[in-house]
Amino acid sequence: MVYVEVPKFTVKKELIKLPSKRTALIIVDMQNDFAHPNGKLFVPTAPKTIKPISMLLKKARENKVLVVFTQDTHYLGDPEFNVWGEHTLIGTWGHQIIEELKPKIPEEIVIQKNKYDGFFGTPLDSILRSRGIEYLVITGTVANICVLHTSSSAALYGYKTVIPVDTISALTDFDMYATLRQVHFLYKGILTESRYIEFR
């Protein structure tokens, strides 16, 4: 057994006030195949994030904050199935966003993506810039995969990122800690908890 010490990172536990008109709430891949116990690639810690994500979603809707859902989307024969097996196949129950977080269409935006990164090959950056967005609150699953890849692109595109740690889920503790370390150290994102976020 090899033990690895987790480098320090800070989770900010004080009120964070974000400007409603310049902030977007990003909900990454909270789909049945990942967040429901009957899903094909179920993340056991994902259900615990539904309540805090719902709370943030309610705050965002009340304050007219832009809400964007990413939706992992695959077609028959996708090469990614060689890695993970078939999942989030378009048109299936597993592809759908979980009932508790259903987007309000057309007020809220759903970005279908076929890679880990919500920005890669999608109009996400264009949509955010056209609305003057500067801050992104990023939530969802899986922490070290789609959440981290989306967060890294967000930072590299110049957005200020906030990650509420109680709203992301991972398959292992190692994956979670590695994600938080990367966001804090490499991308200078703010780590916090959902209860400390306010939209003004």
Q: Which residues are catalytic?
A: 29, 113, 146
Neighbours of 62 (CB within 10 A): 10
Q: CB of 28 within 8 A of CB of 118?
A: yes
Q: CB of 65 within 8 A of CB of 2?
A: no
Q: What are phi and psi of 23, to 5 degrees?
A: -125, 145
CA distance 27 to 139: 5
CA distance 87 to 131: 32
- For 5, 36, 81, 82, 128, the CA distances from 50, given in Å and listed in that order, are 30, 10, 26, 29, 24
